[in-house]
Amino acid sequence: MPADSATRKFGPPRACRPARGRTESHHLLAALRRAGPPYRQTVGEIAAAVPLSQGGLTMQADRLAESGLIERERDERDRRIVRLRLTAAGQDLARRVADARAAGEWDMLAGLPPAEQRQLEALLGSLGQSLTNTDPNKLTDPDEGAIDPNKAAAPKN
């Protein structure tokens, strides 16, 4: 397996790791990038979009700010509101990480015939649309009934 292929499958290349190679940092950078220009969101908006606790989010924001990848901005009307904004360096890193992950995804799909790639793309698109339109409070488990979205699922034996 070529080195480029291996690094794509196992994570972003070293050049994309100034955020100390932490997946949590990449989640935060990706959330800000998805927000679009000016690449800024409140801490609460980011917390709802990434798999991090409030404390974990604060710790990653501190690291990214120290690295010059994000800046904190206080709302002028309500100083309690803090927004995180990607700097130019943060935008560049977020783009490179997204590009590296996309390349890795394409590498994984390369083993499938083109017809199956198209079928998978259609199925994943349908799943994404379904998840977007699903009320998490109305999820059900066919074996056990309603699912409480605020509780972690217990492993089945």
| Residue 16 DSSP one-character state | G
Q: What are phi and psi of 40, to 5 degrees?
A: -140, 135
* pLDDT-flagged residues of the chain (< 70): 1-22, 134-157
Report the pLDDT value the prediction gives residue 44, as an integer from 0 to 100.
87
Residue that is written with structure tokens 């977007």 in the block: 132
CA distance 140 to 153: 12
**pTM, 2 dp:** 0.61
Report the pLDDT value the prediction gives residue 47, as an integer from 0 to 100.
87
